[in-house]
């Protein structure tokens, strides 16, 4: 696969395609200054990114949409050049809430469709507009999940032209099989967005998805922030790894670029989040070098099977996806 900065999309099973690198846009809404996502998306598009990963839950889709629309208006890109991924949050799993949730994203973005719409988690919360519904003890209120019914509502959204492709996120093998084996399945999931990086390569789920023509989109491809409220601090900082550091020196690249190149070279889409213009540009510079087969195998051996993102606060949910082996 000959990848370039101008041409780095791979096919999806529904005949659409997805760029192998995208910009992640999550930022803590309490601490991220207004306008940060807007400026970052503009920098990314000017740099050459054509894939933007967002979500209603990030509370910044209005900024992301404004940046995309301005880059279309100034002639930098056409709408069809941009690949936008939106996400269905846990409180909108009931079928009657799926389309209104997607329409809210589209209204906020001021776009006619999203390129990919995914179920953000297999874990449903109490339905409604309160995104983190809690009981009197402060515990999240769960809701019985019917993933197949949710999926049928998503299929109707695709048929209506509101989403070009449909996918999932944080699904394990059992949950993927629920959808893939659903009687009357009309549109199969084209992607599964999961944590994926050299310390957590997900070999079993990677192979299962490959066999079923499901593209893996890797979040936290550089590790994550060290926020103890949701990050597993037992996992050492990825970008300080000795092998990655030595390969970075060899190729005159950053360890981040080596980590991203590793995943891209194995067909995993990467969506590094950054609001730093220097890092946004650096992360895109992964098409001027390639890793040898021996180097790829050496990086694969770094796998520690340790997640950075455990989301243990929801681990008692019946559909919590990380209990299973894969």
Cβ count within 10 A of residue 35: 12
* CA distances (Å), origin 19, targets 11, 205, 264, 269, 292: 9, 21, 10, 7, 22
CA distance 42 to 31: 20
Residues pairing with 269 in the sheet: 217
Q: Hey, CA dihedral for 6, 41, 247, 221, is it positive or negative?
A: negative
Given the DSSP bridges, would you call strands 17-19 and 9-11 parallel, antiparallel or unpaired? antiparallel
Respond yes or no: is residue 84 known to be catalytic.
no
Query: Which residues neighbour 151 within 8 Å (Cβ) at sequence distance 6 or greater?
Result: 119, 166, 179, 182, 189
Closest C-alpha among 201, 287, 224 to residue 251: 287
CA distance 116 to 13: 13
Active-site residue, from 26, 38, 49, 58? 58
Catalytic residues: 58
């Amino acid at each position: 696969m000959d990848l370039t900065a101008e041409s780095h999309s791979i096919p999806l099973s529904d005949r659409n395609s997805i760029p192998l690198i995208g910009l992640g846009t999550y930022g803590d809404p309490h601490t991220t200054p207004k306008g940060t996502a807007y400026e970052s998306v503009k920098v990314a598009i000017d740099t050459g990114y054509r894939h933007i990963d967002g979500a209603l839950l990030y509370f910044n889709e209005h900024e992301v949409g404004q940046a995309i629309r301005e880059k279309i208006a100034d002639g930098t890109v056409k709408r069809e050049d941009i690949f936008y991924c939106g996400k269905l949050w846990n409180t909108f799993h009931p079928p009657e809430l799926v389309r209104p949730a997607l329409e809210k994203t589209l209204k906020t973005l001021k776009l006619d469709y999203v390129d990919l719409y995914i179920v953000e988690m297999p874990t449903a919360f109490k339905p409604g507009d309160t995104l983190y519904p809690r009981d009197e003890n402060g515990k999240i209120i769960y809701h019985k999940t019917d993933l197949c019914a949710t999926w049928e509502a998503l299929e109707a959204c695709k048929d209506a032209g509101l989403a070009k492709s449909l996918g999932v996120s944080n699904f394990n093998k059992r949950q993927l099989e629920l959808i893939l084996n659903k009687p009357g399945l009309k549109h199969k999931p084209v992607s599964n967005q999961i944590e994926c990086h050299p310390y957590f390569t997900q070999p079993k789920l990677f192979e299962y998805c490959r066999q079923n023509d499901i593209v893996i989109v890797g979040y936290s491809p550089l590790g994550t922030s060290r926020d103890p409220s949701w990050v597993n601090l037992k996992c050492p900082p990825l970008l300080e790894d000795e092998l990655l550091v030595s390969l970075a020196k060899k190729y005159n690249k950053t360890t981040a670029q080596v980590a991203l190149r590793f995943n891209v070279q194995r067909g995993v889409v990467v969506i590094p989040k950054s609001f730093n213009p220097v890092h946004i540009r650096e992360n895109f510079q992964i098409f001027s070098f390639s890793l040898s087969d021996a180097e790829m195998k050496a990086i694969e051996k770094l796998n520690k099977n340790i997640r950075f993102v455990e989301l243990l606060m929801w681990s008692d949910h019946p559909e919590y996806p990380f209990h299973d082996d894969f």
